[in-house]
Amino acid sequence: MFSSSYLPRLKLTTRAAPKVIPCASSLREAGVKFKRKKKPDNMFHVTFEEGILELPSVLIDNSRKRLFLNLIAFEQSDRSTEKNLTSFATLMDMLINTPSDIEILEECDILHNMLPSAEEAASFFNQICECATLDYDDHYLAGLFYRVRDYCDSTWHRNRAKLVRDYFHNPWAILSFIAAIILLIFSFIQSFFSVFAYFRPPH
C-alpha cells in the first residue's frame, strides 16, 4: 500500500472544497496549463500554482485498471486508511470526460494510453470511481480542488486566455495584433493634432 506520510495535505479549514472541477478541455479554455511533474515525490504528487497544473506521468492499461480497482476497494473497506488513490482517481475522472481531454494530457506527456482507443481511456477512471465515495472536504487534494475552481471562475483569467487564443496563437496573429495597435495609436495621434489645430490655429 502506498504510504501517505509523504503526501502534502491540501485540506481546507475555512471553506468547503468543490465537488467538481472542469475537465481538461474546459480548464485549458480558462487559461490553465498542464505540465508533467518531472520529479514527483510519489504517484499522487499533484500541484497547482500560478495557473499551472502539474501531475505525475500516468500509464493506463487493463492491468492497471484491475490494480486500481483492488486498491480503491481496499481504501473504501478500511476506514483507517487514507483515501489517497481514491482522491487522485477522482481528480483524473474529473479531468477526463472525452477523447479531447485524453489528447490534451497526452500532448503534455502526462497520460500514456495503452488501451485500444481514446474512448476506452476516457472511461477508465470513470469506471474505477463508480463505486468509490470521497469526503470532498477532507482529502489530500481538497485544497487543490478549491484553487482550480477559484482560478476558473475568475473573469480575468478567462478573458486573458481568450485574448491569447484569439490573437497570440501564431506569429502572424501576433503581428496583426501589433499592427492594429500601431494603427490605433497613429489614428489617435492624428485625431489629437486635428482637434488641437482646430482650437489652437497657428498665428
In this structure, are residues 115 and 62 in contact, taking their beta carbons and an 8 Å threshold? yes
CB neighbours (10 Å) of residue 159? Answer: 11
pTM over 0.85: no
- The tens digit of pLDDT for each residue in 162-188 reads 666 665 556 666 666 677 788 888 888
55 or 173, which is more confident: 55
Assess contact for 35 and 54: CB atoms under 8 A. yes
User: pLDDT by residue (tens digit) across 60-85?
Assistant: 999 998 999 999 999 988 888 888 99
Confidence of residue 140 (pLDDT cuts 50, 70, 90): confident
Beta bridge partners of 58: 111
